[in-house]
């Protein structure tokens, strides 16, 4: 039985992971900016484990540190941390404002940094733990038309791999979760509280053109749990995402050409 904390746990990938963890017997804190949503998820979860809800704004470093310390103090340890909260932002680079960039950096990158900053000292002190940072396939391949998102996800991959090398000596594991397009509300709520763009409005349609069929959050959660058991550095799913990642490693320029062709298919 593990003690786990998941940010962005009220919906999508976070909710699916929380569900899988409770089913297998873990104690899970479902943290989200949407407190009502977190309460609903925690209240519905059932299995061999237990769930509790917490309100959390991952852009507030003091709040993040306070919650992580509180979970550690109440349960005696903190085994698994999923820095999962994120937003989707899309649009042509020439139509994006600095607000698009700054909001994405605040949530998708600084939110992960705040989680790492809070969790890592706890895990070093106890001599074990696993930090899982939600990145994206967009953090491994050329992903145009959503450069703020792409930039943050590449940064999360780099942060995770660098910390993984550093943390191993302390008994702490670090992984990045890199899914392809997943069927979650993220695709229906792109550019939240930001100026809309055509790419954001048509995010789900564009995702379906690229991937044909969206991966379910529940299937991804199963992949994540397997990745934890195997201590994978990068948890890349589904198979189509792994194929795309392999293509980038074989030929970066070829991957850029594929991305250009993909853009032409997205144009009306």
First-residue to last-residue Cα distance in the chain: 51
Helices assigned H by DSSP within 90-214? 98-104, 111-126, 147-167, 198-201, 203-211
How far is 119 from 95, CA to CA, in rounded Å? 37
- In this model, does residue 184 exceed pLDDT 80? no
- Give me the pLDDT at residue 93, please: 93
Tokens of 267: 């144009």
Q: How many CB atoms lie within 10 A of CB 250?
A: 9
Question: pLDDT, tens digit, for every residue of 138-162?
Answer: 999 999 889 999 999 999 999 999 9
- Among the listed residues 68, 120, 149, 215, the single catalytic one is 149
Topology at the third CATH level for domain 3-266: Rossmann fold (3.40.50)
- In this model, does residue 204 exceed pLDDT 60? no
Q: What share of the chain is helix, strand, coil (3-state, %, to 5)?
A: 60, 15, 25
pLDDT level of residue 181 (50, 70, 90 thresholds): confident
235 phi/psi in degrees, rounded to 5? -100, 100
Question: pLDDT, tens digit, for every residue of 92-144?
Answer: 999 999 999 999 999 999 999 999 999 999 999 999 999 999 999 999 999 98
CB contact at 8 A, 135 and 157? yes
Mean residue pLDDT of the chain comes to: 91
Known catalytic residue at 149: yes
How far is 262 from 264, CA to CA, in rounded Å? 5
pLDDT level of residue 193 (50, 70, 90 thresholds): confident
CB contact at 8 A, 5 and 78? yes
Closest residue by Cα to residue 89 from 142, 147, 138 = 147
Strands (E), the chain: 3-7, 27-32, 50-55, 80-83, 129-134, 172-179, 182-183, 215-216, 234-237
CB contact at 8 A, 82 and 129? no
Tokens of 204: 């789900």
How far is 60 from 78, CA to CA, in rounded Å? 20
Peptide bond into 238 cis (omega under 30): yes
CB contact at 8 A, 30 and 14? yes
Q: Choose between 54 and 266: higher pLDDT.
A: 54
- In this model, does residue 265 exceed pLDDT 80? no
Domain limits, the chain: 3-266
């Amino acid at each position: 039985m593990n003690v786990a904390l998941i940010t962005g746990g009220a919906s999508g990938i976070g909710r699916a992971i929380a569900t899988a963890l409770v089913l297998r017997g873990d104690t899970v804190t479902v943290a989200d900016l949407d407190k009502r949503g977190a309460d609903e998820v925690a209240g519905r979860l059932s299995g061999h484990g237990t769930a509790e809800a917490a309100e959390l704004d991952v852009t507030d470093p003091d709040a993040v540190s306070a919650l992580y310390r509180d979970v550690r103090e109440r349960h005696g340890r903190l085994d698994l941390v999923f820095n999962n909260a994120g937003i989707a932002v899309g649009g042509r680079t020439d139509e994006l404002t600095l607000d698009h960039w700054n909001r994405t950096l605040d949530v998708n990158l600084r939110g992960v940094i705040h989680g790492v900053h809070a969790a890592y000292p706890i895990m070093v002190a106890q001599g074990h733990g696993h930090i899982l940072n939600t990145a994206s396939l967009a953090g491994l391949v050329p992903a145009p038309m959503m450069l703020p998102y792409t930039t943050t996800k590449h940064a999360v991959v780099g942060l995770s791999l660098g910390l993984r090398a550093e943390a191993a000596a302390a008994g702490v594991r670090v992984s990045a979760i890199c899914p392809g397009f997943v069927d979650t509300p993220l695709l229906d709520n792109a550019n939240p509280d930001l100026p809309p763009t055509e790419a954001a409005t048509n995010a789900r349609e564009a995702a379906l053109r690229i991937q044909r069929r969206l991966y379910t959050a529940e299937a991804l959660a199963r992949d994540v749990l397997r990745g934890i058991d195997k201590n994978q550095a990068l948890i890349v799913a589904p198979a189509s995402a792994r194929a795309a990642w392999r293509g980038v490693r074989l030929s970066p320029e070829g991957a850029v050409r594929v991305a250009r062709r993909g853009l032409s298919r997205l144009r009306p």
